[in-house]
Structure 1
Amino acid sequence: MRKIVIAGQEILPGEFKEIDINIARLPSHTVIDTPIYVSRGEEEGPVLALTAGMHGDEINGMEIVRRMLDSGLHKPKRGVTICMPIVNMYGFLNYSRDVPDGKDINRSFPGNKSGSLASRVAYHLMHDVIPLIDIGIDFHTGGAMRANYPQVRAVLRHETNLKLAEAFHAPFTIDAPYRPNSLRKEAARRGKYIIVYEGGESLRFDQQAIEIGIAGTLRVMKHLNMIDVAPEATDENRIVWNTSWIRAHHAGLFQPNVKCGQLVHKGEWVGTITDPFGEFKEEVMAPETAFVIGLNNIPVINAGDALMHLGMDNFCKLDQPAED
């Protein structure tokens, strides 16, 4: 049978273990460990990693993994689940996306054992976890108080990614290229398939995003034959091949006129920018027919700030009027 060893500890069929990987310690000598929860089924099967909290303020993913652990949904009949509810413990403790040196862990892969703090966290993940896995789901939310409607992101030209995204069946599946030095890209270089689930915004629970994330994860586990039963999908899964941002032309106060997940039509009024002194008002119009897959929730904006993330599927393209 396949041998599963993490940080020197072997996990045998039918076993569940909590393993702490020491990352570093604070100036106060407080030790920072990353807890990993490993559950192995009685029968052979794939190894699935569920990682959350890469950015310490993205709590929806943490709650998805926590609820799965709490309810026993992470336990497979076949194969292994490796659950990491909080990858970036530093950011979590400080309500921060990044680690104390200001670096983003998800732009620090493959990492360096003696590099920056973010690079060290990435190194441990790449050496202690990623070599063991076959598939991964990396949970994220919108950053900087931008809400993402529940969506899976993956490079869809790879058939395995496409099948995983279809099995997850989020409301939107977005064809997303690899980001430089990201976990997803570096794992792919090693023949591992990781899809990203995005839902909600930072530092705020979104019950819809959490519930969709749990149900989608269970559907992926069923697709991998790790479990026998999973919730049926209730939402349509739209494939988004093209995305664009609506950005602010002026600084001011932004008030959206639409909701996340909504279909907007080309030329439709989607929000208003005003200044605090009543000197001007600008109506923001949709540049194309698309779904709102991300929405800014910060009223105070600067010129060039992202206001709204738009995603187009085939329906949207057909819905647009023909150009002269």
Structure 2
Amino acid sequence: MKKNIKRSYKFATKTSLFITLVLTVLIAVFLSVSEAFNIGVLFGFSACCYFVSFFIIQYRVERFIYRRVKKIYDDLTLLESASLRRQPITTDMATLTQEIEKFAKDKKLEIETLTVREEYRKEFLGNISHELKTPLFTVQGYILTLLDGAMDDEKLREKYLERANKGVERLIYIVQDLDMITKLEVGDLSLNIDTFDIVEVVEGVFDLLEMKSAKKKITLTFDMLYSNPILVKADKDRIRQVLSNLVVNSIKYGRFKGTTEISIENLIKNKVIVRVTDNGEGIAKANIPRLFERFYRVDKSGSRKEGGSGLGLSIVKHIIEAHDERIYVESELSVGSEFSFTLEKAK
């Protein structure tokens, strides 16, 4: 590809031409006055004047730009990015401008990303502080009450110790969930990939959560009768955890006498998609992009009454992504929600 002429050359060319014209006019006037006018001498003078002016101006301009650009490269630590340091120092102002503009855009994007991350970090620390201090203060309160004399009452002692134990169990639950997410993120949690019947796993989850759903008279059901097994390749225990978390959420935010339905469909040749659908509260569109963040709650007051660590959906997302699969969510307020994820079919 043909390179563009350096702008410094254009500058030197135009300036030299201007100087040459001015000097040529002056020398022509001088020669006319002195009656020694000679067109050959005038032409030779013009050519010499032009080339001498061009080389002097070009050399001086390049040296001027080089010194100042080199000072920028040497002094500004911001310009020590890999993209600039790999390239030699240039005196072409167009190239330099493009490099600086690209660098500025990259830094602006980096700053915006860091700002978003900082806001997320502050929110995350606030959320985890709230989640941990509630059970901690509960445990501390019961223990202090016992130390203040309540332990002498056998019934009261047993009651407070049981409540303190529930608070400790909640703390352990939160820490275990956080530990699992961290391992999933860094890839330390290994998956035991096996072939199993996803229908059987769903039935097991339904049996496990039958009593919980009965409290709100929510029906757990398939969309149809699956008489034949549907074999998939995944970590059976982790997928059971995914389904449990999704069904628990559908019960937690489901309407009284509602329904939670699971369907399993062929997506493409080697994939199935599992859908968990309810007719509960639904989720506003503004909240959907943040559903899988740690401790993010759509209805903070309501969800805390229902319990949970606030990490369920985050764990679900990380487990599915650890399988190199995708998870989707569709929801509408007062209508219901549908969470779906893909799995690889066994051959």
Normalising by structure 2, we get a TM-score of 0.22
The structure where helix makes up a greater share of residues is 2
Rg bigger for which structure?
2
More strand by percentage: 1
